Chains A and B, each alone.
Chain A
Amino acid sequence: MNKYIKFLLMVLMLIAIIAGIAFPIVAKPEHWYQFPVIPGLEEKARIIFFHVPSAWLSVLAFLTAMAYGIRYLKKNNLDDDAKSNAALQLGMLFSALATITGSVWAKFNWGSFWNWDPRETSIFVLLLIYGSLFALRSAIENEDKRARLSAVYSIIAFLTVPFFIFIMPRIMSGLHPGSADDNSAGPIVDFKMDFSMRVVFFISMTAFTILYYWMWRLAYKSIIIKEKLSNKLIRG
């Protein structure tokens, strides 16, 4: 990855962390460095700069896994399986992070760590779906067979992602911001954030996306190197 993109990541993430944590939340923002109060969230609204990007990365990672799954089925190149596998691991990591951060936040906003809110239920089901993919992968020894099955599974599993992440939690009433009965109407990003809050939010999203790309590259490269070395050891 280009050196300048790495520096860009450093700078963007610093901005996101400093602004996201330290910018004051006030009733009537007068300066660019002040955030507006979102009713019902107040200081706890800061989670949006870190929790939402994690959830976004899990969708992005599962999408990457599906894309490289399709590519593997087309070209039968095991490197594509490594890329798909690396994306799956990161997808699990980031959905677990989104779940844990959300759960800690829920304790202080909704009163309990787990409420079986539609969004909590949907991420739980997604974790189960993708978790079983790892069980499937570790159960098959033949590399090609494992890659093919995992590719097909990651394609089918991704079909459920838009439904579980974007549709179901929005059409059902629940506690999570953006649910159907959210009385101030509609997702927070569009209606309740002011300009500076939205800028910081998208800076954070960009920083997390670059971070994901970097981590993904490191992950799949190490998988490919490991496979190369083990092939050498076996074939001599």
Chain B
Amino acid sequence: MENLYNFLEKNSIFIVLFIVLIIWLGIYLFLWRTDKRLAKIEKELKEKENE
């Protein structure tokens, strides 16, 4: 653990890398969920139109 800490302290670009990766994961999950939600709303609207 100490080794890892020392390594990250000397190579701080990897900390930047982790931060950017976390941000990308967040954006990706958000897009995925919004896509699902929109598809559901589209389906409901279509069903209501057909009624």
Query: Which residues of A are interface residues toward B (Cβ below 8 A)?
Result: 1, 6, 9-10, 13-14, 17-18, 21-22, 214-215, 217-218, 221-222, 225, 228-229
Contacts and interface: CB of A to CB of B under 8 A. Distances in A.
Nearest to A228: B45
Is the contact region of chain A dominated by helix, strand, or loop, or is it mixed?
A: helix
A229 B45 CA distance: 9
B7 to A, nearest CB: 13
Is the contact region of chain B dominated by helix, strand, or loop, or is it mixed?
A: helix
A228 B45 CA distance: 9
Nearest to B34: A218
In order of increasing CB-CB distance, the 8 nearest A-B pairs are: A21-B17, A22-B17, A221-B38, A17-B20, A218-B34, A225-B41, A13-B24, A10-B28
Most buried by B among A6, A10, A21, A225: A21
A6 B32 CA distance: 9
A112 to B, nearest CB: 24
A173 B14 CA distance: 36
B35 interface: yes
B31 interface: yes
A21 B31 CA distance: 23
B35 A21 contact: no
B23 to A, nearest CB: 9
Contacts of B21: 14, 17-18
13 contacts: A9-B28, A13-B24, A14-B21, A17-B17, A17-B20, A21-B17, A21-B20, A214-B31, A221-B38, A221-B42, A225-B38, A225-B42, A229-B45
Interface residues of B, number: 16
Interface of B: 13-14, 16-17, 20-21, 24, 28, 31-32, 34-35, 38, 41-42, 45
A1 B35 CA distance: 9
Contacts of B32: 6
A141 to B, nearest CB: 24
Contacts of B13: 21-22
Given A6-B32, A21-B13, A22-B13, A218 B38 contact: yes
B4 to A, nearest CB: 15
B46 to A, nearest CB: 10
A89 to B, nearest CB: 15
A21 B38 contact: no
A10 B24 CA distance: 9
A116 to B, nearest CB: 30
